Structure 1
Amino acid sequence: MRALPVEISLFSVNYCTGDAVCVLLFDPQSREVALIEQFRVGAVDKSPSPWLLELVAGMVEPGETAQDVAIREAVEEAGAIIKDLVPITRYSPSVGGCDEYVDLLCQSRCRCTWRSSRAGSRRRRY
């Protein structure tokens, strides 16, 4: 077993946090998909590494559309300027215990800059 120092603020936890948006960033010219790599404390004991590869994603704030969230999160997490979003599906990841829905969108004309992110995520090309 290894020690992993983690600093968090204590707050009331609500696992049903509202709706979310995921964006599949795809560059058709290079035929690459952009994923971000983020540390997730919940994965410390459940996976080989707490650094997980993920789609760009974010929570829907009041007054925002799924497209608004996709554009905001693409810039924040991947440094990507996106246009021409195409809806793929809308699904509920945990119907048994939560009313959250996730909108999955595809951006097929992505131009990613692959720079350091303000969100602290790391990106890789695949």
Structure 2
Amino acid sequence: MSNTENKDKNLVAKEKTEVSGPAEQTRPGRMYVPEVDIFEKDADIVLLADMPGVAADDLEIDLRDNVLTITGDVQPQEKEGQVYMAREYGTGRYYRRFTLSNDIDQSKIQASLKNGVMRLVLPKVEKAKPRKIEVHAA
């Protein structure tokens, strides 16, 4: 969105969405749903997930039976002798699951994490990639 489109709109920081539901948690603490953007290109599908505070060592991506599970832990940043006057940033775990179609080449999935954004590249299998068919004059 350009600045001219945004000048009359209020900008509000969106709160982290906490997971809620009937499932029983096996770990103490809060569970968050990362915000994601998903877009398609000719050769692949790209998923961007906001996971602020998660280090690469604390990010886990699991693929089993066409289900992609993303979990990331936000570790406490406490230092000995540090006394907080205010504390708004919550620690906890990010959790999100996606079911993949057979159009994804699961052996070539790539992931990276930079500045709190996880980028997942899901390459399409050859048969799923769009292609142009050349027409010859008869």
Query: Is TM (by shorter chain) over 0.5?
Result: no
Larger radius of gyration: 2
Relative contact order, higher structure (CA 8 A, sep 6+): 1
Tell me the TM-score normalised to structure 1 length.
0.27
